[in-house]
């Protein structure tokens, strides 16, 4: 079994600081988040993944251009044609977006509820996906505390948009501790919100894939998602899946 874990896509996010550089390739930069997301979907099709998880901040706050939503639906339609479901959890930027309230999504896109933690069972893969979307942008409650116990005999994945134990760069939304996530008994935590790639191993594998495309000069280096493999013995392995189209140095 293999799936893609992505987060912090920020489709059509305005790139910061471009006005200070009259010779900047503005149009190339403005389309970078879309092209990176197309690259991600191309990889999902090429690698024949079983499903995709997006752990928050698919959109970018109060962005109101519906061409953003139409673009997302078009890419999801490509995955739908080859039978790849996509499980989307809304983060702080999505909660603030008008797109999330009015967009009609393709059938293969499944949304995690914001009122309580919801669980999707993928019986043919022996997978249980648990997640809870943000209702409000500034969600400071510990959402992880509301996640259910793992389902026995299944590979349990927790999907969560969180600052984890806090970050000086990212707002302290849905805070929780590493010990709490390990203690929940899940096999894998698909996290979002922190834009840097980070893996924490222990009783569970806890992963921030980082954002899909660096958006300003402080987000340097390679960016992308994570490919997760589960072998026949139940061992979990991860590889970075780099899909960015421009890199800051």
Lowest-confidence region among 16-25, 120-129, 179-188:
16-25
| pLDDT in the model for residue 184 | 92
In a domain, residue 247? The reply is no
Which range, 78-82, 87-91, 134-138, is most confident?
78-82
Check whether 64 has a pLDDT greater than 80: no
Q: Is the pLDDT of residue 208 over 80?
A: yes
- Listed residue (8, 80, 95, 19) closest to 44, CA to CA: 80
pLDDT of residue 123: 95
pLDDT beyond 80 at 193: yes
The proportion of the chain whose per-residue pLDDT surpasses 70, expressed as a percent, equals 86
Average pLDDT over residues 59-82: 83
In a domain? residue 248:
no
pLDDT above 80 (res 186): yes
**Token pair 């139940």 in the structure block, residue:** 234
Number of domains in the chain: 1
CATH number for position 161? 3.60.21.10
Predicted confidence (pLDDT) at residue 225 exceeds the cutoff of 90: yes
Domain that holds residue 216: 2-242
Pairing outcome for strands 51-55 and 2-6 = parallel
Q: How far is CA 80 from CA 40, 57, 75, 113, in A?
A: 14, 21, 9, 21
Residue 141 lies in a domain: yes
- pTM greater than 0.85 (yes/no): yes
In a domain, 8, yes or no: yes
Mean pLDDT, all residues of the chain? 86
Torsion from C-alpha of 56, 57, 58, 64, nearest 10 degrees: 140
What pLDDT was estimated at residue 141? 73
User: Quick check: is 123 in a domain?
Assistant: yes
Residue 42 belongs to a domain: yes
pLDDT at 58: 82
The Cβ of residue 228 has, within 10 Å, a number of other Cβ atoms equal to: 24
pLDDT band of 3, cuts 50, 70, 90: very high
How many whole angstroms separate alpha carbon 151 and alpha carbon 119? 10
More confident of the two residues 204 and 215: 204
- Please write down the HEC assignment for all residues of the chain: CEEEEECCCCCCCCCCCHHHCCCCCHHHHHCHHHHHHHHHHHHHHHCCCCEEEEECCCCCCCCCCHHHHHHHHHHHHHHHHCCCCEEEECCHHHHCCCHHHHCCCCCCEEECCCCCCEEEEEHHHCEEEEECCCCCCCCCCCHHHHCCCCCCCCEEEEEEECCCCCCCCCCCCCCCCHHHHHHHCCCEEEEECCCCCEEECCCCEEEECCCCCCCCCCCECCCEEEEEEECCCCCEEEEEEECCCCCEC
Pair type for strands 236-242 and 188-192: unpaired
Q: Residue 100: what pLDDT?
A: 60
Residue 225 inside a domain? The answer is: yes
Is 217 in contact with 248 (CB distance < 8 Å)? yes
**Residue 69 forms part of a structural domain:** yes
């Amino acid at each position: 079994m293999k799936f893609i874990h992505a987060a912090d896509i920020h489709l059509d996010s305005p790139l910061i600081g471009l006005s200070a550089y009259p010779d900047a390739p503005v149009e190339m930069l403005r389309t970078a988040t879309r092209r990176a997301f197309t690259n991600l979907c191309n990889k999902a099709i090429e690698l024949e993944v079983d499903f995709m998880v997006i752990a928050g901040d698919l959109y970018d706050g109060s962005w109101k251009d519906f061409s953003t939503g139409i673009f997302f639906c078009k890419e999801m339609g490509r995955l739908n044609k080859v039978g790849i479901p996509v499980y989307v959890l809304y983060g702080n930027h999505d909660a603030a977006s008008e797109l999330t309230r009015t967009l009609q999504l393709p059938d293969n896109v499944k949304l995690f509820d914001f009122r309580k933690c919801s669980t999707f069972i993928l019986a043919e893969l022996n997978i249980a996906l648990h997640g809870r979307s943000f209702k409000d942008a500034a969600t400071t409650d510990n959402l992880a505390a509301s996640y259910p116990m793992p389902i026995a005999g299944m590979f349990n994945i927790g999907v969560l948009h969180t600052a984890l134990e806090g970050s000086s760069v990212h707002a302290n939304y849905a805070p929780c501790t590493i010990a709490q996530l390990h203690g929940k008994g899940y096999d894998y935590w698909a996290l979002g919100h922190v834009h840097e790639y980070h893996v924490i191993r222990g009783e569970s594998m806890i992963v921030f894939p980082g954002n899909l495309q660096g958006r300003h000069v402080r987000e340097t280096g390679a960016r992308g998602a994570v490919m997760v493999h589960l072998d026949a013995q139940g061992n979990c392995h991860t590889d970075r899946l780099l899909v960015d189209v421009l890199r800051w140095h």
